[in-house]
């Protein structure tokens, strides 16, 4: 099982470390507008990012996840992301 560690670097930038057989790090940008759209402020940004990585890791290995991206990019690869992520809350 992967361990997901989310660290806030600035107001909109986060570092995500995924520890598994191969450890990876990912720079993730999350705008306040997109955060509000997905969560309505009901969970922390870190919890949203963690849930997003859980979503991704169910579909691909951590070594396939982009090393740097804005959170909305996930829906370009997985169109059901925005609908599915709400199930995590």
| Confidence at residue 29, expressed as pLDDT on a 0 to 100 scale | 98
Length of the chain, in residues: 89
Would you state the pLDDT for residue 88? 76
Sign (positive/negative) of CA torsion 85, 3, 56, 66? positive
Whether the per-residue pLDDT at 82 is higher than 90: the answer is: yes
Q: What is the pLDDT of residue 86?
A: 84
Token look-up 């804005």 returns 70
> Which are the contacts of 62, defined by CB distance < 8 A and separation ≥ 6?
2, 18, 20, 22, 24
- Tens of pLDDT, residue by residue over 3-43, are 999 999 999 999 999 999 999 999 999 999 999 999 999 99
Would you state the pLDDT for residue 78?
97
Distance between alpha carbon 9 and the CA centroid of its chain, in Å? 14
Q: 13 — phi, psi (to 5°)?
A: -115, 135
pLDDT, average across residues 63-72: 98
């Amino acid at each position: 099982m992967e361990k997901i560690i989310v660290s806030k670097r600035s107001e909109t930038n986060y570092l995500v470390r995924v520890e598994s057989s191969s450890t990876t790090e990912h720079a993730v940008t999350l705008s306040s507008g997109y955060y509000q759209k997905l969560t309505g402020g009901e969970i922390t940004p870190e919890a949203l990012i963690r849930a997003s990585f859980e979503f991704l890791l169910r579909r691909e290995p951590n070594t396939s996840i982009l090393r740097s991206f804005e959170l909305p990019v996930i829906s370009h690869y997985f169109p059901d992301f925005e609908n599915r992520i709400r199930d995590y809350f």
